[in-house]
Structures are given as structure tokens and as C-alpha cells.
Structure 1
Amino acid sequence: MSNVCREVVTLQLGHYSNFVGTHWWNLQDASLSYDPETPPSEIQSDVLFREGQTPGGHVTHTPRLIAMDLKGSLRTLRQEGNLYDAGTDTSAATWEGSLMMHKESPPQKNSFLEDLDRMDSATLPAGAVSVDTVNSQLARVQKGYRLEGSVKVWSDFLRIHLHPRSVSVIHQYNHDGEAHRLETFGQGEGLLQGPLLEQLEDKLHFFVEECDYLQGFQVFCDLADGFAGLGSKVTEMLQDSYGGRGILTWGLAPVSHPDTTPMKELYHVLNCALGTVNMAANSSFFCPLTLRGGLGRRPSSPVAFPHLNYDPSLWYHSSSVLALALDALTLPYRLKDGAPMWQMADTLAVSGRKVVAAYGAVPFPMMHGAALPDALSACADALPWKPLSACPEPGDGRCYGQLVTLRGFEGQRLTSSLAPGTQPATPLHDLHRGEDVLESYVRSFYPRSPLALQLVSTPSALTPPFPQIFSHFLGPRGFLQSQPLPPGSRAVSLAPVMTSLQSGPAVGSWLSQLHSGAGALDIRRSAPSFLSQGPEMSDYKDALEELRLLGRCYRDGTMCSS
């Protein structure tokens, strides 16, 4: 079964999830190679991509993706995409009277999208799209796009073509403006019915039925707005319809929201609480992902990384950091000989504890030319990763299950090359396998906890329009240099990353804080409109009680009910 492709269908629910997803798909696309002379990759791209053919006969590779967002969120992106454009159908036009046409100017494209259009039109015959258009040219273009001022929506930096069935627009709610906003959990829950439900089922059937060995679904879902309610219903539907498959759900929250108010901040807390308990119940595991210092109304400072200079308030920046972490977090079930989703979930969701926390060293600090024992010995006093789930590590070495992934050490040594008779600098330098080096290091912090490891030499490939947020001490391959690089040096094009997924008492503390933040509110007095479209007050109280019990089973070691 090692050569069998276990396909995954991805769902992106909400605007910030589509920001993260766009960066994540750009990373996947940048790592694709269409050169038959290139050595086979450790990563199996067909897990995520499907092969198709345009009417012009050109082979395409598009994501096996369903992306849902609100009216007005696409800007320059056509909902049906550009791959299978059959032109304008005028067969139904029967009116023969006079017509008055009002033409609205389309949104202006930024410099990156304009360059993409030029590449496509210069390379392709009319009506066809070549799979290697972006990779073959952008990989050669060392152009530093500065899109911070021009990115309004996620399609402003989307570098790949999507299948016509991928994008779904929810017309009942607006992306911009004050009216008709998707702000509460109940609004989102009420969406999955009628035409939207039929549309989602149709898209799922299309992508699922062409899979030979479907291993499951990965769901990226906004956690702080009404999409938390929609995500709860979508994961419930997936569990009912595809119960034997893996459902790995990532609840995403930005550091800040534009035009927020105290009432909206209160809504965010309630949505996070209800979304967490419901999506966790319907998923193989649920992992919140955010660079906020907490999901309450008074979070601490955003997460800082030693070798990144990112602006936490820019969704374009914060989503790129989370996408780079996700590129490592999702790696185990995308490898040719990797563990399937269900096995990854069983490793982490021990005794029904299905909420897990993520941590990441983005990028992993490794000196150019150094060995892995050197890099880890430099972090002997503290683990190199930072919280990616607003869940600080307690530092007491307790953990029910942990999966550590290190990727991107290509060209570096995993062990020390000691001359005979040389005294090793540390115990790590005396080990002879990279897996043993990493395990010994992690066990120095978690000596008795179950541990699974994944080492992959291939780094994340960074090509335009990934933002230039890296320290001047990082070279083009993402390794540390002893001196800062001079201005105008080649941009970082590869990134080593280390991540950890954990289920432990720290998650219980996080869940308890989430419960306390929501439970302390007199919702009838503080936010009377929150429940106007559901759930019922009794269901709301039941959900908070489930959240409280879920947090408790992480603390006292009892088994959680599924």
C-alpha cells in the first residue's frame, strides 16, 4: 500500500481561512515539479491535487478544494475560474428591443496579478491553461512583490487556478459593509440548508467520487465569526456521510479584525467557545490556530518569532505564518509512506481528548553548514517553538500524546561527524540517527510522554507572492548566517520548519479559560441579539457545560465522552 495515493478533500470556510488556505495552496503549488528529470519527492502531491483536462486538451492540476466565502469577497476572481471558459452563451437571448448597458469598472489588479495575466497570455494558446505556467516562470522571476498595501481579499495573491466547482459564494451575507454580516454562531448554523446544502453536497460528491482511496477531509474554518456555526454543521454532515474517514479541523482566528467593536469582540468569544466544542465533537481532532495572545477579549501580545518581521495586524502576513506552519503540521498524511489521517488522529486524540494544540518554530533556527545536534543544543534551555493555538506550554513535561515534525534540513547533516576518539560536545552529538537525535532532544523536555516523530528533508518552497518577512540573518535556503545579508541579497526561497501537535493538560487550561470567558457573560443582558437566530438558550447552556467537562478531562486524566 506504500504507493497508493490516499486522497484528501480540503474545505475552507470563511475569509481568514481562505487567506491561510491561499498561502497554503501557493506553497503546495510552488513545490510541484513537472520536470521528468527531477528526482521523486517524498511528498505525494496527488493527495491534494486532482488531474484534469481543459477543452483545449491541456492537462491541469487543481486543488481538490471547496472554498466558501461571502458576497463581495472575490474581487477579481471569477467564481467559476478561468480553466474551462466556454465563452459567453447567447443562445437564450430572445429580446429584440433596444438595450441600455451600464458597465461597471472591474476592481484593479495588483502588480502580481497583472504579471500572472501576462505570463498566461504570453505562454498559452487561446482557451488553454498550462499546468507549469506559474511554476516555470515565477521560479525564475526574482521579483520582490510588496503587496501589503494592495491585498484586500485572498484572491489578490492567489497564484493557482481553481476548478470551476471549488468556489462557493454565500449570497445571504456581505463581506463588507454594516448590513447583513455573518457575525454569530446561530447565523452560520442556519445556513446549511436548501440551495447551499445541495450545492455543498454536489461539490463533495464530485470530488469524492473520483477518489480511489479517500483518507478524509481537512477543514480550515474561521473560529471567531458566524462561520464557526457553519463549520459545526459542515463537520457534522461529514461525520454522518463519511464517518469512516478522517476529519481534521483547524479553527483559524486572526490577531485582529477590521472595524471591530466591544460587542463584536464579545461575539468573537462566544463563537470561539461554541465552535470549539461543536467542531471538536464532529472531528477526528480539532486544533485552533492563531497568532493572538489568547482568544479572550483581553489577549496578551501576539506571538513573536525570533527570525520573522511580520505585522500581526495584516491578515496577509499573519496568514502566511500559519500557512507555513500548516505545511509542516499536515505533512504526515501527505507523504508517500506517511501515516493516514486516522492514525495521526489516534496518536493525538487519546481517550477522546480531541482538542489539540499546535506549536511551531517558523523558521527552525539552524546555522548554514551546521548539524542537527548543533542546532538543538543551541536550544537546550527552551524548546524552539512558539504557541500557534494561544495555548502556552506549562513546562512540566506532561503530555498525553505528541507529534513532532521537522522538515527542510536538506543539505545539512542530521548527525555529528566526530573523528575517532573525539569527545562529543553533548549527548546529542554522540547519536548516529537523525530520528534518535530529535527524540532525545524532545524527551529532555517530555521524558515520559508518548511521542511520534516525522523527519522530512524537503523544505517549504517560497516563491512570489509569499511576503518578505524574514530576518536579514537568513540565507536563501532559510538557514542562519553569522552576518546579516546586505540589502538587495537574494530573498529567502526555502524554509525549514519544526512543529509540534500536543494533547495535554495545557489544552485543558485553555479550554477552561475559554469556558470561563463565555460563561461569565450574562448573554441575555450583554448580548441579547446573539441568540436571535439560534441556538436556543438551553442548547447554549448545554454546549458550555460540554466545554467545561471537556476541559476537566484534560486535567484529571479521565476519559472524555465522544
Structure 2
Amino acid sequence: MAGGAREVLTLQLGHFAGFVGAHWWNQQDAALREAADAKETPGELCPDVLYRAGRTLHGQETYTPRLILMDLKGSLNSLKQEGGLYRDKQLDAAIAWQGKLTTHKEEPHPTTNPYLQDLLSAEGAPSRDGIWRTRSVPNGKGPAPLTTATSPKPLMPTESSIRVWSDFLRVSLHPRSVCMIQKYNHDGEACRLEAFGQGERVLQEPGYLEELEDRLHFFVEECDYLQGFQVLCDLHDGFSGVGAKAAELLQDEYSGRGIIAWGLLPGPYALGEPRRNIFRLLNTAFGLARLSAHSSLVCPLSLGGSLGLRPEPPVRFPQLHYDVVTAGATIPFPLVPSQSLPDTLVQLGGATPWTPLSACGDPSGTHCFAQSVVLRGLDRACHTSQHAPGRPLPSPLHACSTGEEVLALYLQQQQPRARSSAHLLLAPCKVAPPYPRLFSRLRQQGLVPDAAPTGPAVDSIPVLGALCSSSSWNRTLGDLAQELSTLDLRRWASFLDAGVERDDFQELLQELHGLAQCYRAGDGLEA
């Protein structure tokens, strides 16, 4: 189904991972709509890597994420576990039995948020009530989009309307995507999945293990060129154990395939909750160590400033207004309309051009070993300098003939000993509803204005993103091990009772110290 694409299967484990994943899939969906509506598709992004094609009982083609997600009982709200995309309500209503019937009335299913239902209806999409509203997708998949005389302005989500991540998920999921852990509750204080050992035990139970394996086989066997897996996993609770066992399963069953794990942590935490904070510390440490043992690459993501117990200032962005306790954010690349890419990079000077999102503290003074950088959303005309011939150039960056050369030279100037890869994409990052309106001082395309912006709200932004391997991890992992070594485990016996032995804890400290040594500044790759 995917042609020559090198497919990736996504695993989404935990409720916070659900929030991050919902935003991420909504952005992929917005990019698909943009590509379907564009007269000329750049062709730089291949949606078949992340999506799969299918067909409903009525013969309608579908395009859904290649995704397996796991969450707890009571966490779905209006999203049905089996989905509504492949259901036939007429067949469901048909009753073959002619004998006596007994009616059992089920509690009403939660209704979809008004603003999300408004979006689905206005844009032409499969709604969760089982009614199919057609929408075109790239590469000719799906019929032509519906057109209407007017496009109503979509409603915006409010804080009170969001209870769970599915409250703003606009993407329809395949019936095999959602896997619920029924033995633990999402709400309430009883039966909570709060410790690493509990999470490990979930995938040691034959029922849950077989269910995950069955879903893996379903999605993997239809791939032609599977390149690997990406795992979005909560680190702060028991899903750190679920993620560790899932990564181990993937490594055992699909050796040779890449596994990239994103360890997700909510933002700044409250100091007045010692038990929750100690559990968060232990879960994070065990999760990082075990994921590192079974994954090709592990990258924690958090708006908090630290992985440990000592609070650090949270992550902030200059052009962004949001509550750092609850919101995620993307920094816009600070290009003003009158500037080119070389102009902006020169203005940044020697400072690191991105804000760290891995809770590793201040990156100044650290050594970068390797980095992969992507800049997307700048018009091609801005990639290079347009200085008149004969005029002296402000910098060597202004002499480059392509945007890729500009970015590569800038990275080489910043980190001359690091191995770097640079990529430029024309497609911007879409932030249309239901993405929250966090950008109040930017133009519609996300550029920094010379004066107060007027006109439509921001619907896309240029973004500079980077994955870096640096010596900051030496300090971060060392500090984490130091904090753990001062804990009196006798006070936290309930964490050990959940399935972790004292020997496991001592082994964890050794693993963290060993990982920290891998990131010493003197052990970098020579250019």
C-alpha cells in the first residue's frame, strides 16, 4: 500500500504522550490538507511513511496513522476504542434473532467537543458519529474535497472543554490502533499506574502482551519497506515501564530496525507533593536507562528545566504566550519580512539558535558531538542573500548560493568539531485550530513583524529544530544518579513493592554513571 516509502510504525504510550501525539497528528493532518489543496506539491515530505491506506465497508478509501496507542481505562472520553471509521450503523442495527429480546441501556457516550465537531463538519472529514464526510488526501487518495459557499470560522477550545487528549484529536484512527489497559484507572486515586515496576508487569501479562504483538503484526506485515519504530512514552509514571518493555519487545522481534524513543515529561511540578515527585524521579531514571538499552536513539522532551528534584526555570520562548505548566510550544524562527536567512543567522551571533527541550539545563559551555538540524517554512527567496554585485558581503554566509549551504556553514562555524547534517524544507509547521492560539505577535505566516501585526491570526510558523548529542548529558545523568544515591529507599518501599528490587536500583545507578561517561567532553567524535 505504501509504494516505495520506508514506513515507520508509531507507538504512543501514556496519557501525556496522548496529548503530545494528538498535537503532532493534527499537524500531520494539516500538512496533508495543505498538500492536497496546493497546486504544486513540493514533494519533500512523504505521508506514506507515517500513514496507511485502507478501505471502509462502503468502499471509501481511508488514510489513517500507522499507530498503536495504549492508555488507561476512562481516558478516551468521546473517542471509541474501536473507532467509527469502519463501522456500518445499518448493519449494527440489523437484528437477525427473531426470539424474545431483552434491552440493556448503556450510559450515554460522551459527546464530541462542539469546536471539534465544528471542525470535522466544516472541513469534510470522517466524524466519530460514523458519518463519512469526504476529504481529499495526497497522491490521489480519496475523492475531491467538498466545497461549500461559506467556510464558518471554527470554534476555539477552552480550558474547561479539554479533559483528555482525544478532546482535540481531529484525526480518525484505525480500529486496531487503540489498546486499553483496563486494570488501571485514568481518574481517581485507586488502581493507578504510578510506578515503573507496574508498567513492566503489564507487558509481562500474556493478555496484554499478546494484544500488543497482534497489533504489531497487523501493521508491520502490510509494510513493504519498514525502516523502524518511533515510541512516544510517558517517563514520569508507570508507562515508563510499559515503554521499556515495549522497546525490548521491538528489539527482540524486529532486530535491525531503528527504534527512536521520545521520553515525555510534563512541565514544572509542584514541590508540595513529595511522594509523586520521588516516584517521578525514579520512573524517569529507570525509563531512561532501560529505553537506552533497547533503542537506537532516546530523546527526553519536557518544558521543565530539570529531570531532578531541584526546580529549574521552565522553558520560555520570546514570541510565545502560554501557561508553562500545561502547554506545549514550538519556537518560531525569528525571521522578519525584510531579512534573508544569512541576515538572521548573523544576528543570532554565537548564541545557540534553539531553546533546549530535553530538561538538560543551560547548554552554554557544553560540547556538541553530532547534530541533525532541520529548518522549515522559509520561502525559497529568503534562503540566500540578495546583495547587489560589487558591494562587500556582511559575512561568509552571504556568499552561499543555496539555503542548505548557508545552514551547513553556520553550523560548522558554531560547532567546528561536531558532525552536522542540515536540511531545509519549504513546508511550514501548521498551527491552525485546534492548535491553541499561542502566537499573538506574529504575522499570519509566523514571521516577526516590524510593527504591531494586523490581519488574520497565525496559521503557520517557520521552525528550526535540532537533535544534538552533547556533553550536557554528562552533567544531567551524573546529577540524576547523585540525587538517586541520596534517597532512603526504606521510605519509598511502595515503589519497590510494585516490582523493583534493591539490586535493580543499584544496577540503575551503575547504568546512569556508565551512560554519563559516554558523554564526557573529551570523548567526542573528531571532525
CA distance in 2, matches of 1:204, 1:559: 37
Is the Cα contact below 8 Å between 1:410 and 1:459 reproduced in 2?
Answer: no
Task: State yes or no: 1:114 paired with 2:137.
Answer: no
> Residue 167 of structure 1 corresponds to which residue in structure 2?
178
Correspondence for 1:359: none
Contact in 2 for aligned 1:54/1:128 (Cα 8 Å): no
The Cα offsets for residues 439-478 of structure 1, whole Å up to 9 and x where unpaired, read as 2222332122111111112111222100000132x11111
Contact 1:60 1:130 in 2 (8 A): no
Q: Is the 8 A contact 2:373 2:467 kept in 1?
A: yes
1:507 partner letter: W
**Which of 109, 112, 130 pairs up with 2:134?**
130
How far apart are residue 73 of structure 1 and its match?
0.3
CA distance in 1, matches of 2:29, 2:345: 30
| CA distance in 2 between partners of 1:36 and 1:428 (Å) | 32
Listed as ranges, the gaps of 5+ residues in structure 2 are 138-143
Change (3 A) 1:260 1:287: farther
Q: Which residue of 1 aligns with 2:473?
A: 507
Alignment CA distance shift 1:475-1:120 (3 Å)? closer
Task: Tell me by how many angstroms 1:106 deviates.
Answer: 3.4
Q: Whose relative contact order is higher, 1 or 2, with alpha carbons under 8 Å and at least 6 apart?
A: 1
State the 1:555 CA deviation.
Answer: 1.4
Q: 1:416 aligns with which of 380, 385, 396?
A: 385
Change (3 A) 1:137 1:539: farther
Q: Which moved more, 1:384-393 or 1:113-122?
A: 113-122
The 5-angstrom pairing of residues 186-205 of structure 1 reads 186-192=197-203, 193-205=205-217
Is 1:373 the equivalent of 2:342?
yes
- CA offset digits 1:186-236 (Å, max 9, x no partner): 000000021111111111111100000000000000011000001000000
Match for residue 443 of structure 2 among 457, 475, 487: 475
Alpha-carbon shift at residue 256 of structure 1 (Å) = 4.5
Counterpart in the other structure of 2:100: 96
Q: Is the 8 A contact 1:477 1:492 kept in 2?
A: yes
Shift of 1:425: 2.0
Q: TM-score, normalised by structure 1?
A: 0.85
Tell me, yes or no, if the aligned pair for 2:125 and 2:134 is still in contact at 8 Å: no
> Is the CA contact (8 Å cut-off) linking 2:8 and 2:50 kept in structure 1?
yes
SS at match of 2:512: helix
Q: Cα distance, 1:121 vs. partner?
A: 8.7
Deviations 1:124-159 (Å, cap 9, x if unpaired)?
998545344998789955435133221110000011
Q: Residues of 1 paired with 2:423 and 2:69: CA distance?
A: 29
SS in 2 for 1:171: strand
Describe how 1:481-520 pairs up with structure 2 within 5 A: 481-486=449-454, 489-520=455-486
Aligned partner of 1:18 in structure 2 is 18
> Which one of 540, 553, 559 corresponds to residue 518 of structure 2?
553
SS at match of 2:202: coil
> 1: CA distance between counterparts of 2:197 and 2:97?
41
Q: Is the 8 A contact 1:59 1:131 kept in 2?
A: no
Task: Answer whether contact 1:218 1:247 (CA < 8 A) is retained.
Answer: yes
Tell me, yes or no, if the aligned pair for 1:402 and 1:451 is still in contact at 8 Å.
Answer: yes
How much does 1:543 deviate? 1.7
Between 547-556 and 133-142, the greater mean CA deviation after superposition: 133-142
**Among candidates 275, 292, 295, match of residue 263 of structure 1:** 275
Match of 1:55 in 2: 57
Counterpart residue identity of residue 346, structure 2: S
Q: Which of 31, 39, 42 is equivalent to 2:41?
A: 39
Change (3 A) 1:93 1:453: same
1:477, 1:494 within 8 Å by CA — same for their partners in 2? yes
The residue that corresponds to 2:310 in the other structure is: 298
1:140-151, aligned counterparts within 5 Å?
Answer: 142-143=153-154, 145-151=156-162
Residues matched between the structures, number: 510
What is the alpha-carbon distance in structure 2 between the residues aligned to residue 123 and residue 256 of structure 1?
37
Aligned to 1:236: 248
- Once residues 286 and 137 of structure 1 are traced to their aligned partners in structure 2, the CA distance between those partners, rounded to angstroms, is 44
Whether the aligned pair in 2 keeps the contact of 1:402 and 1:500 (CA below 8 Å) is: yes
Once structures 1 and 2 are overlaid, which stretch shifts more, 120-129 or 422-431?
Answer: 120-129
Give 1:426-445 correspondences, 5 Å limit: 426-445=395-414
Paired letter, 1:477: Q
Q: Say whether the 8 Å CA contact 1:50–1:62 is kept in structure 2.
A: yes
1:265 & 1:69 partners in 2: Cα distance? 21
1:117 and 1:455 mapped to 2: Cα distance? 32
Structure 1: gaps spanning 5 or more residues: 325-361
Contact 2:73–2:186, Cα closer than 8 Å, also in 1: yes
Q: Structure 2 counterpart of 1:96, which letter? A: K
Cα shift readout 1:336-391 (whole Å, capped 9, x = no counterpart) = xxxxxxxxxxxxxxxxxxxxxxxxxx111111242101111121141221110011
Pairing of 1:431-470 with structure 2 (within 5 A): 431-470=400-439
Which secondary structure does the structure 2 equivalent of 1:528 belong to?
helix
Q: CA 1:83 to 1:483, structure 2 compared with 1: closer, same or farther past 3 Å?
A: same
Pairwise CA distance, 1:94: 9.0
Deviates more, 1:18-27 or 1:415-424: 415-424
Task: State the secondary structure of the residue aligned to 1:554.
Answer: coil
Q: Which amino acid aligns with 1:112?
A: Y
What letter matches 1:450 in structure 2?
R
In structure 2, do the counterparts of structure 1 residues 395 and 98 end up closer, same or farther at CA, with 3 Å as the change threshold? closer
Q: Distance between the aligned counterparts of 1:126 and 1:186, measured in 2?
A: 39
Deviation for aligned residue 1:414: 1.1
Measure how far apart 1:58 and its partner are: 1.0
Contact 1:220 1:252 in 2 (8 A): yes
RMSD: 2.8
Question: Is 1:83 the counterpart of 2:85 in the alignment?
Answer: yes
Q: Would the alpha carbon gap of residues 187 and 200 (structure 1) be closer, same or farther in structure 2, given more than 3 Å must change?
A: same
Contact 1:303 1:386 in 2 (8 A): yes
Provide the residue aligned with 1:213 in structure 2: 225
The alignment status of 1:278 with 2:290, answered yes or no, reads yes
Q: Check the 8 A contact 2:375/2:423 in 1, yes or no.
A: yes
* Mapped contact 1:173–1:180 kept (Cα < 8 A): yes
Secondary structure of the 1:149 match is helix
Deviations 1:282-338 (A, max 9, x none): 000100000101122222121000111111122xx22xx2xx5xxxxxxxxxxxxxx
Percent identity over paired residues: 45
Q: 1:34 to 1:136 in 2, by over 3 A?
A: farther
Aligned partners of 2:147 and 2:472: how far apart in 1?
A: 46
Change (3 A) 1:206 1:257: farther
Q: Partners of 1:62 and 1:259 in 2: how far apart?
A: 41
Distance 2:379 2:152 in 1: 23
CA separation of 1:85 and 1:257: change in aligned 2, threshold 3 A = farther
Whichever residue aligns with residue 74 of structure 1, its letter is L
Which segment drifts farther, 85-94 or 229-238?
A: 85-94
The CA deviation at 1:403 is: 1.1
Superposition deviation, residue 519 in structure 1: 2.0
2:483 maps to a residue whose letter is G
**Residue type of the alignment partner of 1:86:** D
Q: CA deviation at 1:490?
A: 0.9
